[in-house]
Structures are given as structure tokens and as C-alpha cells.
Amino acid sequence: MSKTSAVLASLAGAALVAAHGHVSHIIVNGVYYRNYDPTSDWYNPNPPTVIGWTAAQQDNGFVEPNNFGTSDIICHKSAAPGGGHATVKAGDKISIVWTPEWPESHIGPVIDYLAACNGDCEKVNKESLRWFKIDGAGYNSQTGSWAADDLRKNGNSWLVQIPSDLKAGNYVLRHEIIALHGAGSPNGAQAYPQCINLQVTGGGSNSPSGVPGTSLYKATDPGILFNPYTSNINYPVPGPALIAGAVSSIPQSVSVATQTASATPPGGSAPATTTAATSTGRSSSSSSSARTTTTLVTVTTQSPSSTITAGPTGGASQSKYGQCGGSGWTGPTACAAGSTCSVLNPWYHQCV
């Protein structure tokens, strides 16, 4: 190891305590869908129905390689299906947004998989899912950047395209960052899988075969046990091969939400969307004609019970990393001591 590499490695070691992350929301055709929030929903006795899977990720943490053979790698620790789904068209691009800001030290690949549910994803047995890889970006030697760098520079978001020939049906999208800053040592890589339920409409007849989540990676795979602090990086993205016709990543850009929608429960009709009160200065462009636009009336999504602690002034306040504002938010806007409400975007303000 060169002196420079050693310095970089020790800096990375210091960053191990940095906040990690989870996916806060997705944006499809300008429509914002809230994801499961492991840092607040976990503690909420009456959490909102969302498209994202529930997981024991209160620490914003990761799955370690020694557990890549267990069900925790499928959709994160102790994961269970989300109670609803988002409806997208085959060929749609989905912006997947992480919070808090992805740590710069946490270099590594960004990978996306789909698995058909053959029924409602809300009730699927995760062990039965067979995952096929629709994109997977590692290190770009042209730009000298890792996919996780590109994600961070792209507003902490990653743009994924659903294959346009995919057979219509219900799928789980498994989006994942693998952080490699410690991956030069055994069990040092960090996997951050995030699962979201999608109903895909349109499409064609393509139904790729896949592998069980527990077979995606092994702790000793060359893309898992890998020292990224070398001068000539030649990184093999781990996991199965991309499906035919897929690319490692599509061109990245930031998506802007102009509407919000709630998750559709199984068998439910298309969600009502709420046009954002805040103008972004952009035209709202192509939102799906299948969605109905309506005005949000009154929605009380949670009772002010155990997740909400009394603030210094006696009013209700949100716990750290919980939501504290944004279009349509009816919960507390004050943050618990030690955190302040930060505007991530017009639809999501967070106590950080």
C-alpha cells in the first residue's frame, strides 16, 4: 500500500461513524412517493402505508458480507413488504432519492434489480423472489468516479429505467449501494439494499429469470472483498450479469416532483395525486393520464403518540431524522432537541 493509499484508508476508517442512509422517496413522471422511513416509521404504532419495505434499519446502517447468505440481504434487515405500491409504465425512469446526504467516503457501486411477485408484492414471501439485474455501475475510469460519487453529485439520487419490454405485472425493485471504503478487509463492505413495490403496466413479454437474494453475493466475491485504494482500479460489479439489453447505468439527472401520491394498496385503484402548491418554475410535463389529479382534503396519517416527544416548549416535536414538513405534511414541524428542520425539497423536510 502506498503512503497515499494508507492515508486515504485511515480517513475512510474515520468516516465509518458517518451517517449512512436510506431512500426517502422516489419520483416518477413528476410524482413523488414517500418511502418507508426506518428512522421514524419503525417507532410509529400507526405508520403510513408506503411503497417501500419495512426494515430494521433505524441506524441507517447496512448488511455486512457475513450475512449475505441470510434473508437480511434480500431487502435489508428483517425486511417485510411495503403495504402499497407505485404504478409505473414499462420504460419509465424512476428517480430514487437517498437521505441524508450520502457520505463522500462511502464509495462503491450502485445496482438495481427487479423480481416478479406473481401476485401482490404486498404479500410476497421475500425468499421466493428471483432477482434479475437491470443496471449496475461501479467505477468509471474515464471520469475517475464511483457510481456512489455520481449519485451524491446527482442530488443523492439515482435514475433507473424499467425495461420497456418488461412483462406487465407486480415487481419489487431492489435498489442498492455497496460501500467499499472498508472492503479491503474481510467483512468490510457495506450493502444498503432498499426495496420498493411497483406495478408495471404496458411493456412486452420479457420476463427474465433471476436468482434468490441469498445467492446474489458471497463475502469473498471479487467485487465485495476489494481494496478501492489502488492506482489502477478495475472493479468487477458483483452479482449476476445484467439482463440482455441492459446498460450499467442510464444518463443521470435530477427529477423534480410536481405532485405527490400515496401508495396504492393491493387491489386498489390508481392513487390520487396532489398537485404541489409550490411552483418549481418547470412545466409539469408528462404525468400519467391514468392518475387522477385532485385536491388534498384532510388527511390525518398519524396520531401524535409515542413517536412524538414533547419539545422544550411543550409542543409536539419530531424525532431526529423524522419528517418535519413539506407539502401535505400534517405532522409536527418542530424538531427534538439536538436537531433542526432542514428543507430537503418542497415535499420533504427532515429533522437533522
Q: Which residues of this chain interact with Cu ion, rule CB under 5 A? A: 20
In angstroms, give the least distance from the CB of 24 to Cu ion: 17
Beta carbon nearer to Cu ion, 67 or 248: 67
User: For the chain, what's the residue count?
Assistant: 352
Cell numbers at residue 349, please?
423536510
What is the distance between the alpha carbons of residues 129 and 74, in angstroms, rounded to a whole number? 9
Beta carbon nearer to Cu ion, 63 or 341: 63
Cell numbers at residue 115, please?
423480481
What is the distance between the alpha carbons of residues 120 and 117, in angstroms, rounded to a whole number? 6
Instruction: Show Cβ contacts of residue 101 under 8 Å, excluding neighbours closer than 6 positions.
Output: 21, 152, 156
In angstroms, give the least distance from the CB of 136 to Cu ion: 21
What is the distance between the alpha carbons of residues 234 and 122, in angstroms, rounded to a whole number? 39
In angstroms, give the least distance from the CB of 107 to Cu ion: 11
Radius of gyration of the chain (CA): 20
In angstroms, give the least distance from the CB of 62 to Cu ion: 7
- Give burial (CB, 10 Å; 0-12/13-18/19+) of 209: exposed
Beta carbon nearer to Cu ion, 83 or 182: 182
Cell numbers at residue 309, please?
416527544
Beta carbon nearer to Cu ion, 131 or 229: 229
Beta carbon nearer to Cu ion, 107 or 335: 107
What is the distance between the alpha carbons of residues 33 and 50, in angstroms, rounded to a whole number? 8
Beta carbon nearer to Cu ion, 61 or 328: 61
In angstroms, give the least distance from the CB of 150 to Cu ion: 18
**Residue whose beta carbon is closest to Cu ion:** 20
Give the residue ranges of DSSP H helices in the chain.
Answer: 3-14, 72-75, 147-153
The dihedral through the CA atoms of 262, 264, 268, 271 has a sign that is: positive
In angstroms, give the least distance from the CB of 102 to Cu ion: 10
